[in-house]
Copies of this chain bind each other. A is one copy, B any other.
Amino acid sequence: MLNVPDNRYNYLMEIKNYKKEFIYSYSLGAFPTIELIKHKKEYIIDIYIHSSFKNEEVLSFIKENINKDKIKYNDKLINKLSPKENCFVIGIFNKYDTNLDKNKNHILLDNPANMGNLGTIIRSSLGFDILNLAIIKPGVDIFDPKVIRASMEAIFSINFKYFSSLEEYKSAYKEHEINAFMLQTNNTLDSFKFTNNLHTLTFGNEATGLDKKYLDNNSIIIKHSKNIDSLNITNAVSIALYEFRKQIKNN
């Protein structure tokens, strides 16, 4: 872990592209930075604004919510951190831990490998009101700016936690019924009846799917034609979220 040195100026001058080892990360762009301020203000180190940025609504929102001494102007730094598309506002924040809510439904991803997919799943998950995400390691780094970007800022509104193994997750959330989405079962989603239990909708790695240790009577398959090998993972998750919400709404 890199530490933030006492001398902040030097620390910021050294900032380059994000690395997993950093104890801080970046919200790149006005929209993610607004959501960062709304939901995780306490972790903000600094907000950088480009001198050419003139959106008054955003500027007043930042000024009303962030202490003056944390608002900085440094075009060179912003240009350095920007992805391809220009961004004019950057938030620098300490990475944080969250806990999952024991009384809510969860999503569990076993070793997600693609940052864009993880972000997109977080966005859909928030869209269908599942706000607790468990990740079985390894799995990509949820704080990578690419994940934040793909989540369309949703990441700042959800709880997430990494676990070393399925067993560790299970022993922490004994009440949850694990619904493993996998091809090796005959329970099709369109005939499956979700009970009143707490549920953990569970999905595997993009390339390998879920290990057969997940297979039990609560496993579910989303049937598709034989003309494709599998559904895209983010599509499979959203279909599951849609059907799940449809059913529990009526429970």
Confirm or deny: A215 has a beta carbon within 8 angstroms of a beta carbon on chain B: no
Mask, A38-52, CB within 8 Å of B = 1, is 000000000000000
A228-B152 CB under 8 A given contacts A235-B124, A239-B242: yes
User: Which residues of A (18-49) have their CB < 8 Å from a CB of B?
Assistant: none
Q: On chain A, which size bracket covers the interface?
A: 20 to 34
Confirm or deny: A224 has a beta carbon within 8 angstroms of a beta carbon on chain B: yes
Q: Are A128 and B224 neighbours in the complex by a CB distance under 8 Å?
A: yes
Interface of A, helix, strand, loop or mixed by DSSP:
helix
Q: Are B232 and A120 neighbours in the complex by a CB distance under 8 Å?
A: yes
* Chain B contacts for A120, CB-based, 8 A: 232, 235
Question: Whole-angstrom distance between the alpha carbons of A189 and B242 in the complex?
Answer: 10
* Chain B contacts for A124, CB-based, 8 A: 228, 231-232, 235
Nearest neighbor of A239 in chain B, beta-carbon distance: B242
